[in-house]
Amino acid sequence: MMIVISTFDVQTWHHGPCVVVRVVGELDMAVAPRLRAEIDRALDGRGGPCMVMDLTEVPFCDSVGLGILVGTLTRMRETRGRLVLVVGPGMITHLLTITNLDRHFETRGSLREALDMFTLSHSSG
Protein backbone atom coordinates (compact mmCIF):
# COMPACT_ATOMS: atom_id res chain seq x y z
CA MET A 1 0.00 0.00 0.00
CA MET A 2 1.33 3.43 -0.93
CA ILE A 3 0.76 6.32 1.42
CA VAL A 4 0.60 9.65 -0.32
CA ILE A 5 1.48 12.61 1.83
CA SER A 6 0.14 15.74 0.23
CA THR A 7 2.70 18.50 0.23
CA PHE A 8 1.48 22.03 0.63
CA ASP A 9 3.44 25.06 -0.49
CA VAL A 10 2.79 28.78 -0.77
CA GLN A 11 5.01 31.17 -2.69
CA THR A 12 4.55 34.93 -2.88
CA TRP A 13 6.33 37.45 -5.05
CA HIS A 14 5.74 40.84 -6.61
CA HIS A 15 5.12 41.28 -10.31
CA GLY A 16 4.75 44.91 -11.28
CA PRO A 17 1.86 46.40 -9.31
CA CYS A 18 0.68 42.97 -8.17
CA VAL A 19 1.46 40.56 -5.43
CA VAL A 20 1.28 36.97 -6.67
CA VAL A 21 0.37 34.11 -4.35
CA ARG A 22 0.91 30.63 -5.76
CA VAL A 23 -0.69 27.78 -3.83
CA VAL A 24 0.29 24.16 -4.40
CA GLY A 25 -1.46 21.24 -2.72
CA GLU A 26 -4.71 20.58 -0.92
CA LEU A 27 -6.20 23.63 0.74
CA ASP A 28 -7.90 22.45 3.91
CA MET A 29 -8.19 23.37 7.57
CA ALA A 30 -4.78 21.84 8.32
CA VAL A 31 -2.90 24.26 6.05
CA ALA A 32 -5.32 27.20 6.17
CA PRO A 33 -3.43 29.07 8.93
CA ARG A 34 -0.25 28.94 6.86
CA LEU A 35 -1.96 30.37 3.78
CA ARG A 36 -3.68 33.06 5.84
CA ALA A 37 -0.32 34.05 7.36
CA GLU A 38 1.28 34.31 3.90
CA ILE A 39 -1.59 36.47 2.62
CA ASP A 40 -1.40 38.68 5.72
CA ARG A 41 2.33 39.11 5.24
CA ALA A 42 1.87 39.94 1.56
CA LEU A 43 -0.88 42.49 2.21
CA ASP A 44 0.64 44.07 5.31
CA GLY A 45 4.00 44.46 3.64
CA ARG A 46 3.35 46.56 0.60
CA GLY A 47 0.29 44.92 -0.84
CA GLY A 48 -0.15 46.34 -4.28
CA PRO A 49 -3.42 47.39 -5.85
CA CYS A 50 -3.88 43.82 -7.00
CA MET A 51 -3.37 40.26 -5.89
CA VAL A 52 -3.23 37.31 -8.25
CA MET A 53 -3.80 33.98 -6.53
CA ASP A 54 -2.72 30.99 -8.60
CA LEU A 55 -4.83 27.99 -7.57
CA THR A 56 -4.18 25.83 -10.63
CA GLU A 57 -2.17 23.34 -8.53
CA VAL A 58 -4.85 23.00 -5.82
CA PRO A 59 -6.74 19.73 -6.32
CA PHE A 60 -8.94 20.16 -3.23
CA CYS A 61 -10.35 23.03 -1.17
CA ASP A 62 -12.60 22.73 1.88
CA SER A 63 -14.90 25.33 3.47
CA VAL A 64 -12.06 26.75 5.57
CA GLY A 65 -9.96 27.29 2.44
CA LEU A 66 -12.93 28.86 0.70
CA GLY A 67 -13.36 31.15 3.69
CA ILE A 68 -9.80 32.40 3.24
CA LEU A 69 -10.49 33.21 -0.42
CA VAL A 70 -13.64 35.14 0.51
CA GLY A 71 -11.85 36.93 3.34
CA THR A 72 -9.04 37.93 0.99
CA LEU A 73 -11.53 39.23 -1.57
CA THR A 74 -13.20 41.32 1.14
CA ARG A 75 -9.86 42.77 2.26
CA MET A 76 -8.85 43.64 -1.29
CA ARG A 77 -12.19 45.35 -1.94
CA GLU A 78 -11.90 47.37 1.30
CA THR A 79 -8.61 48.81 0.05
CA ARG A 80 -10.05 49.31 -3.45
CA GLY A 81 -7.78 46.58 -4.77
CA ARG A 82 -8.49 43.68 -7.08
CA LEU A 83 -8.16 39.96 -6.47
CA VAL A 84 -7.90 37.65 -9.44
CA LEU A 85 -7.99 33.88 -9.01
CA VAL A 86 -6.17 31.72 -11.53
CA VAL A 87 -8.13 28.49 -11.82
CA GLY A 88 -8.23 25.63 -14.28
CA PRO A 89 -11.06 23.21 -14.90
CA GLY A 90 -11.64 21.16 -11.78
CA MET A 91 -12.56 21.34 -8.14
CA ILE A 92 -12.01 25.05 -7.43
CA THR A 93 -13.96 26.17 -10.49
CA HIS A 94 -16.76 23.75 -9.55
CA LEU A 95 -16.74 24.97 -5.95
CA LEU A 96 -17.02 28.61 -7.01
CA THR A 97 -19.89 27.74 -9.33
CA ILE A 98 -21.98 25.70 -6.88
CA THR A 99 -21.54 28.31 -4.14
CA ASN A 100 -22.40 31.14 -6.59
CA LEU A 101 -19.08 32.75 -5.72
CA ASP A 102 -18.10 32.72 -9.39
CA ARG A 103 -20.19 35.90 -9.67
CA HIS A 104 -17.99 37.65 -7.13
CA PHE A 105 -14.51 36.43 -8.00
CA GLU A 106 -12.62 37.55 -11.06
CA THR A 107 -10.97 34.49 -12.60
CA ARG A 108 -8.47 33.76 -15.36
CA GLY A 109 -7.29 30.51 -16.87
CA SER A 110 -3.55 31.11 -16.57
CA LEU A 111 -1.12 33.12 -14.49
CA ARG A 112 0.24 34.79 -17.62
CA GLU A 113 -3.27 35.89 -18.63
CA ALA A 114 -3.96 37.32 -15.17
CA LEU A 115 -0.65 39.18 -14.97
CA ASP A 116 -0.95 40.54 -18.51
CA MET A 117 -4.30 42.00 -17.56
CA PHE A 118 -2.63 44.21 -14.95
CA THR A 119 0.63 45.01 -16.69
CA LEU A 120 -1.22 46.09 -19.83
CA SER A 121 -3.79 48.21 -17.98
CA HIS A 122 -1.08 49.60 -15.69
CA SER A 123 1.33 50.65 -18.44
CA SER A 124 -1.33 52.28 -20.60
CA GLY A 125 -2.52 54.52 -17.77
Rg (CA), the chain: 14
The confidence band for 16, taking pLDDT boundaries of 50, 70 and 90, is: confident
Number of domains the chain is built from? 1
Domain-embedded: residue 95: yes
Tell me phi and psi for residue 70, to 5 degrees: -65, -40
Tell me phi and psi for residue 53, to 5 degrees: -110, 110
Q: What is the pLDDT of residues 61-101, one digit of tens each?
A: 999 999 999 999 999 999 899 999 999 999 999 999 999 99
Domain-embedded: residue 115: yes
Host domain of residue 84: 22-124
What pLDDT was estimated at residue 4? 59
